[in-house]
Chain A
Amino acid sequence: MPLITNYFLALTLDFYILTQPLIVIPDKFLMILMIVRVRFHGRGGQGAKTASRILGTASFVEGMNVQDSPVYGAERRGAPVTAFTRISDSEILERGYVFDPDLLIVMDATLLASPVAKVTDGIRKKGAIFLNAQSANIIGEHYTLPSDVRIASYDLTSSAMEMLGKPIISSASAAAAARLVGLVKESSLEQAIVTELEEIGLSEEMIKKNVMLGRKIFSSLEPLELATEESEKKLRIVPLEMITSNDGLEDIIAVGNSKVAKTGSWRIFKPVVDYEKCTACTVCYAYCPESALILRQDGKPEIDYDNCKGCLICYRECPPKAINIEREVIAF
């Protein structure tokens, strides 16, 4: 597997990467506290950022101290997005990336295979992973997890499609997280959904539908008691690791090296060529913006599924309708 992890951080930090959270706590603040750290992994457009806000606001309504923030790179809709919520009964003195979450919310199962997203990194002992899927079995295909990590799953996307008509799962993911954490009442969650969705300008009708969706998910799951009591560590020294250009990518100077990004995982639908019907007219080839389609010797197209983003222009433009579409289940 190509090593392309952390290059974004590497860039911003001038080739030094942060491998540990930076926590600087003066002595006088040392105390026992309750804290839950939640990390959301989604794709741009799914609502990871809003989910982390809803969870934060719901916990705030319950009187907790909260913190939420997203990180994303320069990429567009479809690319991995991460967001964090910290919930505590005391002042939260940590900042930034949640490296060691108590709860992971994986909003898109295809992220399990993404070398960039590294979704299960740092999961705590007795932590939990929630997967947006009918079953959580596929996690085992990608990762070996400590035996005490608990796993839950629910197909949020199908519920969202059914109730909102769109695969946007911000409220659904927030509801799942709120329920699993177990510190938030249903009414506080509802209040938070309304507040946050009003803020991003959703219509009243859409907000109502989101509240219904949130309720449904909330009542379908059971709390896992994730809050941990811990004494804050005094001062954690952050080891900085030097990375050279060779660590970033095997082929940093190769032309066209973007292929390793495997944007095929952005797809929701997959174009499939029916070679019987195809007349080798080359229309699909001319119009594919991604160059993700090459012509074979016989002039018929072959789709590069590792990279095709599933825009479906080829499907739409094919004159004899020789391209069909299939719902993408698990990309890789």
Chain B
Amino acid sequence: MELQSKYKTLRDVPQIDYLAPGGSLCAGCGGLLAVRLFHKVLGKNVVWVNAAGCMTIMVNYPLVPLKSNWLYTAFASAPAGAQGIRDAFDILIRKGKIPESEDLKVVVLTGDGAAYDIGLQSTSGAIYRNLDFYYLCYDNQAYGNTGFQVSSATPVGSATATTPPVPSEPAGNIQKRKDLFEIWRAHNPPYIATLSSSYTVDFLRKVEKGSTFKGPKLYISLAGCPTGWGYDPRETIREEKLAVETGIWPLKEAVEGKVKHTVVPRALKPVEEYLATQSRYQHLFNPVRRKEVIRSIQEQVNLYWEEASKREDFEIKLVNT
């Protein structure tokens, strides 16, 4: 039976904030918005275990926006840090040294650099050990903290500091993103979901739903990045919405391994409506239009949705190429 969710409209966004203003992140940061919404659902009894990344800068000692708890770890080892904290709480509670009411939810917070590249191994280990934790990856599709270098989450066609469009590689990045959702799913955790703050109710419900499972609850949230993607900070929600509407960012979940798309656009918008709005893709349009690259991005999106619609038996109108 489907869980009866508390969250039905935007008005249900909990009106309590666990993050104070005044942090050091870019104005309009989509990653920060994802953390803010995630925290609202989990409540105040949380300890964030952070791997190096943009969110690390949120805490600029001694100025701390968080009203909950925070542990820094090295780039590769946030899930190991989470294991240590979880074990400590379990042992202390079992021995009666602290009451159960003082237990904290352990949440790993990483960017795509740690999630897809540097911390993949320790994440794999933690899922394998069935660690009871949350994992939130804010995916801005590059190493944003150090100046937007390519990561294995960077999409094809994106320019980054390390994959600029050059005569020999006019498309920018040519490597395909890793499919982290499927990598995680192969480990059989109880709950995985993709998120976008722009689909707020879907976002809140997934965090709420994940909380009903014991074991790893894993989330990848799109994180609109005005600085790295190159758009006006005011457009963060629009950009994220477009990513969903064009089918580039599918919103889905996997409960006990079974995948279901939670938002299915009736008809996909052409990918270029999204690409054209960001400087990281400008070389696909100026000075000459790189039709082949844009077409191949569209074809990848079409292929993805065609397969998904067959598997899950839903209707979707694709974009002609």
Contact = CB atoms under 8 A, between A and B. Distances in A.
Nearest to A285: B13
A74 B57 contact: yes
B21 A76 contact: no
Interface in A214-248: 245, 248
A212 B224 CA distance: 36
B3 interface: no
B203 to A, nearest CB: 10
Interface string A292-303: 100100000000
B29 interface: yes
A321 to B, nearest CB: 13
Nearest to B32: A289
A110 interface: no
Contacts of B37: 286
A262 interface: yes
B27 A309 contact: yes
A252 B237 CA distance: 34
Nearest to B58: A258
B21 A260 contact: no
A7 to B, nearest CB: 6
Contacts of A288: 33
Contact of A255 (B15, B23, B28, B64): B64
A143 interface: no
Nearest to A271: B234
A11 B61 CA distance: 9
A308 B60 CA distance: 17
Contact of A295 (B15, B28, B62, B233): B15
A317 B33 CA distance: 14
A303 to B, nearest CB: 10
A291 B21 contact: yes
B27 A286 contact: no
Contacts of B22: 258-263, 307
Interface residues of B, number: 41
B36 A289 contact: yes
A143 B295 CA distance: 60
B53 to A, nearest CB: 12
Contacts of A42: none
A285 B15 contact: yes
A206 B62 CA distance: 40
A256 B64 contact: yes
B6 interface: no
Given A77-B227, A291-B20, A312-B233, A255 B66 contact: yes
Interface in B9-50: 10-11, 13, 15, 17, 19-30, 32-33, 36-37
A57 to B, nearest CB: 23
A280 B111 CA distance: 34
B197 interface: yes
A257 interface: yes
Nearest to A245: B62
A151 to B, nearest CB: 31
A258 B57 contact: no
Contacts of B186: none
Interface in A1-49: 4, 7, 11
B24 A290 contact: no
B63 interface: yes
A245 to B, nearest CB: 7
A287 B23 contact: no
Interface string B216-259: 00000000001100001111111000000000000000000000
B25 A76 contact: yes
Given A313-B237, A315-B234, A287 B21 contact: no
A259 B20 CA distance: 6
Interface string A116-130: 000000000000000
Contacts of B227: 76-77
A255 B238 CA distance: 32
A248 B30 CA distance: 31
Contact of B21 (A74, A79, A248, A290): A290
A115 interface: no
B66 A287 contact: no
B21 A263 contact: yes
A282 B26 contact: no
A56 interface: no
A259 B32 CA distance: 16
A290 B13 contact: no
Nearest to B57: A74
A261 B36 contact: no
A308 B28 CA distance: 10
A154 interface: no
B32 A290 contact: yes
7 contacts: A79-B24, A255-B64, A257-B20, A260-B63, A263-B24, A281-B11, A291-B36
Which 7 A-B pairs have CB atoms at the shortest separation, nearest pair first? A256-B20, A311-B28, A307-B21, A258-B22, A312-B234, A309-B27, A75-B24
Given A11-B61, A75-B24, A77-B227, 18 more contacts: A73-B24, A75-B57, A75-B60, A255-B64, A256-B64, A257-B62, A259-B20, A259-B22, A262-B22, A287-B200, A288-B33, A289-B25, A291-B21, A306-B21, A311-B236, A312-B28, A313-B28, A313-B233
